A and B are shown apart, each in its own frame.
Chain A
């Protein structure tokens, strides 16, 4: 069944969108990731204009994270104070990101910017995860037990403007969380991702937050930052396609539930190798598009008028 997307102005198969949503949903349920970093490139591949894909994905992430945040709030695994500090940085970052996005859009380079960001981030994260999980696999085989517990007490703790975060049991400067939030906000606006894949490692290794509050707190920040990003894209670029978002969402939510069940039955280390391989494949495809001579050197774009 073909469906005409009012904002993207393309006609696509509704079941393809539901299926894509479902597939990414299964993966996000299996691996416990947001899935935005997979969904946005997939939307490029099926012919959704990148500007619409990024803005719509932001809208979808708000919705798909919503029930997660509720669950974490009920379990009291959200550090609201830390979340708010991250959020302040995130909102500034999102605004900066949208300004950069619109500026490059007027230059006709926004596709390049988005693709480059994806290649760099997917490449780095994918390789790190791949190496990490291979090592973990080997450790499991040798049976030497889990990784050593790490708690950094480096330069992060010597910065001024200290604040007490009770839920996380931390007394640290607000500068690192604001900067982390800022970076994630910029990425969210440019790449149409929640940014959990950057924020979660940063919270654990850089800020030294306890693992049990990390996911809830990052979701709390993501939901507001992506909502803000959605509003910015909707008011400056008119690129949020609600029909597209709802179709992806319905597929995604159902997929995530199935994915959670599958994930619980598979060994964690092997799952992570799989995810890493998947991330690297998407990265490789995007990189090839940049490196190989395209069959059509010309492209058409609406003249922005500004």
Chain B
């Protein structure tokens, strides 16, 4: 018994390839999210099974962490200060790696199922997933800016950690659902699934979910970026026709 547990632990420690003993087989309720005109958020069901060649290893049970990250883009964080009696933006810091959306779902309290070292290596927790460089030296507390990103996005439900929301059955099947808010940035969303035992990551799996504006939304957005002149002219014409049409229609209606 002891020997086997020791052997398993040894395997895990020496070669991450031992992870191959337990593999994730994943299912997604959808691998595309279409942002249409009446899009008001989406819920993605992430489920899967843990495939093993050998019997379930002894020791602490397997735990599952699912991290879903939106496309990262650099953002400018500005801080206000009082100048001449009014509040104005004074300092700014570029946070160069901040996902537009980040949700972590776990099968147990986060700190219990993964060590800090492993978190650091895989950048799983919210604090680790965003990073700021390029903060000017003359700005006090550049770290505050990175924290502000987390705070603001958490309040907008863009960043969240949802502990105990992954259900694991018989150490083999797991499922969770991640709600995505209505104001999504489009791009490739990366879903990462980590299996941990005793705080160590034993296996991981990565897949992407495509979030795209489609139809009219896609058309207008692309046109406004690629043919701004035509887009501008089209906007004017549509607006004039709509305004003139509505007022004429209303006048005719009233004259009747």
Contacts and interface: CB of A to CB of B under 8 A. Distances in A.
A249 interface: yes
Given A230-B232, A303-B75, A64 B85 contact: no
B221 interface: yes
A56 to B, nearest CB: 9
Contacts of B39: 2, 4, 11
Contacts of A109: 88-89
Interface stretch (B4-12, B30-38, B121-129, B196-204): B30-38
Interface stretch (B13-21, B53-61, B102-110, B222-230): B222-230
Contacts of B151: 296, 298
A179 interface: no
A293 B88 CA distance: 10
Contacts of A2: 38-40, 182
A165 B36 CA distance: 53
A253 B243 contact: yes
Interface residues of B, number: 61
B45 interface: no
Contacts of B37: 3-4, 243
A198 interface: no
Interface string A284-297: 00000011111011
Nearest to A300: B75
A246 B232 CA distance: 14
Nearest to A61: B239
A64 B240 CA distance: 7
Contacts of B92: 108
A112 B40 CA distance: 31
A4 B239 contact: no
Contacts of A210: none
Interface in A39-88: 59-60, 62-64, 66-67, 70
Nearest to B152: A300
16 contacts: A6-B216, A9-B183, A11-B41, A62-B240, A235-B228, A240-B232, A243-B220, A245-B238, A246-B239, A253-B246, A253-B250, A257-B254, A293-B87, A298-B151, A300-B77, A301-B75
Interface of B: 35-41, 73-82, 85-89, 92, 94, 144-145, 148-149, 151-153, 182-183, 185, 213, 216-217, 220-221, 224-225, 228-229, 231-236, 238-240, 242-244, 246-248, 250-251, 254
